[in-house]
Amino acid sequence: MTSRSHSYFHRALMAPRWVSDGSLSGIAELTSFLYLGRGSVASNRTLLLTKGITCIINATIEIPNFNWPHFEYVKVPLSDMPHTPISLYFDSVADKIHSIAKKHGATLVHCAAGVSRSASLCIAYLMKYHKVSLLEAYNWVKTRRPIIRPNIGFWRQLIEYERKLYGRCTVKFVHTPYGVFPDVYAKERRHLPYCCKNIWINPPEKPEQEPITRSEDAGKSRHRRRVKWIN
């Protein structure tokens, strides 16, 4: 990446743009040659051709490729679970996106919802080929597709990938009464007691429930239950 494009990348990170509803539910343009979307986008041939997409990376087990002519398909069999070794594909997927761009093509990376698996692969690509930190890559993708939520296992692997590439760690895990999760999620959630159930797309474990307690006044007693994600 040239110094000029690297400078542009950082300026864009500092000035997030408004994102339309279409980017929330369908497809988001991350760069002029990289798109992130949900599985249904891969079935819209007209949209793919309009965007100039020539390569489709399917980061799921459950969605088959359409195998239309004039498109190159890459299957990356991943489940959206914390224990899935997605890091095994970081380099190969990033290299593929880069090679397609060099041929003046464009790549769509999709999973089922365009939230966890495909987002993680795009973040890894940006780190490797755009020479940015994990935090910068995450912010870049989230600005263009606000619903992204890599699961906790993918975050651990992205953090390790950043350490491998640059010997540093710009995203860290934080401990709260409601669980352990990336600090970028903590910054986005101010009222954890009310929304912690929405933090994870896939929780690392089933929630462990503490014993139910009752107030001393039986007439006004209410059940209280606290849920903690176990790392």
Cβ neighbours for 123, distance < 8 A, ≥ 6 positions apart? 134, 137, 138, 141, 150, 158
* Strand pairing category for 34-37 and 106-110: parallel
- Rounded distance between C-alpha atoms, residue 112 and residue 77, angstroms: 12
* Strand pairing category for 27-31 and 34-37: antiparallel
Tokens 């990938």 appear where?
Answer: 161
The pLDDT profile of the chain, 231 residues, written as one tens digit per residue, is 555 445 445 544 433 333 333 444 589 999 999 999 999 999 999 999 999 999 999 999 999 999 999 999 999 999 999 999 999 999 999 999 999 999 999 999 999 999 999 999 999 999 999 999 999 999 999 999 999 999 999 999 999 999 999 999 999 999 877 788 899 988 776 534 434 444 333 333 433 333 333 444 444 434 433 333 333
Residues 111, 169, 195, 196: which is the catalytic one?
111
The predicted-structure confidence for 113-163, as pLDDT tens digits, reads as follows 999 999 999 999 999 999 999 999 999 999 999 999 999 999 999 999 999
55 catalytic? Reply is no
Strand partners, 35: 29, 108
Question: Which structural domains are found in the chain, ordered by start?
Answer: 3-166 (3.90.190.10), 173-228 (no CATH)
Residue 173 corresponds to which amino acid? F
Strands (E) across 38-194 are located at 53-58, 72-75, 106-110, 173-176, 179-182
Beta-sheet strand order (sheet of 106-110): 27-31, 34-37, 106-110, 53-58, 72-75
